[in-house]
Amino acid sequence: MSIAIVTGGASGIGRAIATSLVTRGDTVVVTDINAAGAASAADRLNTLGQGKAISAPLDVTDADAVSELYTGVKADHGRLDLVFNNAGIAVGGLAEELTLDHWNRAIDINLKGVVHGVHAAYPIMLEQGRGHIVNTASLAGLVPMPLGIPYTATKHAVVGLSLGLRAEAAGRGVRVSVVCPSFVDTPLLTNVNPDLPETPLSGDATGDIKKASPRLYTAEKLARDIMRGVEKNQALIVAPAHGRAAWRGVRLSPGGAVRIAQIAVNRVRAGK
C-alpha cells in the first residue's frame, strides 16, 4: 500500500489517477483548489471499498501551503511514496491576443505549481531514500503547439524540469516521471482561460478539438497508461498512440512539425 498525493484531483486526469490508486488499495490525499470538488471525489472513492481517500483544499500557487500539506502527510502516515503534481489550467489565444495576466496565470499554476510540489516532496523522499514524483505536462511540452503558447511554454518547462531532476535523483533512490498526454476529454477543455481576459479561443474548446481528433482519449484510459508507466519507471509517459506518433514526427522533422502547426494557426486566423 502506497501513500500518495494528487493535486488537481477533483476532476479529470487527477480524479482518474486517484481512482486508480484507491482501486489498487493505496491511501490517497485528493487535493484541489476546489475544496468541495475534492471532498466529493474523496467521498466517492471511499465507496470503492479498497484503498482510502482523504480530501484537502490546496492552491498550488501557494508554496507554503503545498509544503505544509506534503510534510503533514509524511508526518501523519510516516512516509510519502507517490506525488502526482497534476494541477493545471488551459490558456488559449494567439500571442497578440494574450495579456501578461494569461502568461502569469499559466506560469503560476502550470509551472510554479509543479515547482512547489517538487520542492516540497523531493527533500522528504531523499530523506526516505525512496519515492516517485510524477509531473503532468502535455504533448504540448514536446511539440510546437501554437494558439496558447503560455500553456505550451510551461509544459515544455515541466518536461525539462522533470528530466533534469530525474538525472539528479537517479542515484538517490527517488524516481521522477513526466506525463505528456495528447488531447484528453476532461474539464480542462471546457474551461479555457478561466477568470482571465477573453480571447476568441476562450471558453469551451471541446468542439474544435473533437473536429481534429474525433475520439478524445478518456482520463480513465490515460490513468491506466500513467500507472503502467509509473510501475515501469518510465521517464516520459506519452499517450495515446497518436501522441507518440506526433512526438516521433517532431524528432524526425522539427521544421515539418512547425509547418503543420502553422496550418492550425492559418485556419484560426481565416475564421476571425
Give the residue numbers marked as catalytic.
151
Strands (E), the chain: 3-6, 27-32, 52-57, 82-85, 131-136, 174-181, 184-185, 217-218, 236-239
Peptide bond into 240 cis (omega under 30): yes
CA atoms in the 13 A half-sphere facing the CB of 205: 27
Answer for the pair 187, 205: CB distance below 8 angstroms, yes or no: no
Buried b (16+ CB within 10 A) or exposed e, 90-127: bbbbbeebbeeebbebbbbbbbbbbbbbbebbbebbee
d(CA 190, CA 187): 5
SS3 31: strand
CA distances from residue 170 to 89, 128, 234 in whole angstroms, order as listed: 30, 14, 12
d(CA 22, CA 97): 42
